[in-house]
Amino acid sequence: MNPKNLIVFDIDGTITDSVKVHQKAFYKMLIEIGVSKIDIEFNSFMHHTDSYIAKEIYENDQDLTFSQQKLTEFENGLNEKIKLENFNEVAGAKKLIEKLEKENDFGICYATGSLRKPAEYKLKSIGINFKDIQLVASNNILERENIVKEAILNAKIHYKVKKFDRIICVGDGLWDLLTAKNLNVEFIGIGLKNKEILIENGAKIVLENLIDFTPN
């Protein structure tokens, strides 16, 4: 399979209906690692990724470095807490992914601001299989744009292509749209929660879910 085009999927709110579950677990883990003052207005941070937000909150509160060891502790705890919660796929997600995997026109990959273990769990829990190279998370990358860039590079390796004719980012948040704009790729929004702000910022297509999704 050597697809000419690529779809880069966000996960939380796009593939899995897990935003509230993730934020709840994230908040609990901040408390668990000793943070006393938490700004839970996640959208106010420069980079909308777990690694960046946890680092900023922890270091500002504790006046300590958010080390690799602390990141690993945070990731493991976050994953265990998310496993205790229930969430569903965004309607149509699994069926769409399975359909795209059988076609030759579009390759797929996942670029998420989440840490890797929770991201893997969410996808697998709704029955989506993937190769490790298809998923890029925020463990070693703080910025959304760089996460998407690496996902695209990995996809070229995975699908053995030098260039994709079209790249479409699919996401539910303003940060997903702005990332797509900055990388000069197409964007399709998912979900009604942020539909208004996505359209106000230039999104041409915002779908309620993935049931009627078509990249053509």
pLDDT at 43: 66
Q: CB of 157 within 8 A of CB of 133? A: yes
In the sheet that 106-111 helps form, which strands lie side by side, from edge to edge? 135-136, 106-111, 5-9, 166-171, 186-190, 206-207
Q: What is the pLDDT along the chain (216 residues), one digit of tens a residue?
A: 788 999 999 999 999 999 999 999 999 999 999 998 776 666 677 688 999 999 999 998 999 999 999 999 999 999 999 999 999 999 999 999 999 998 889 999 999 999 999 999 999 999 999 999 999 999 999 999 999 999 999 999 999 999 999 999 999 999 999 999 999 999 999 999 999 999 999 999 999 999 989 887
Q: What's the one-letter identity of residue 120?
A: E
Q: Where are the domains of the chain?
A: 5-17+88-207, 19-83
Place of tokens 């997600």: 93
Q: What's the one-letter identity of residue 170?
A: V
* CATH number among 3.40.50.720, 3.40.50.10190, 1.10.3720.10, 3.40.50.1000, domain 5-17+88-207: 3.40.50.1000
User: How many Cα neighbours within 13 Å face the side chain of 115?
Assistant: 27
Q: Check residue 63 and give left, alpha or beta (phi > 0: left; psi -120 to 50: alpha).
A: left
Q: Answer positive or negative: Cα dihedral of 152, 183, 172, 99.
A: negative
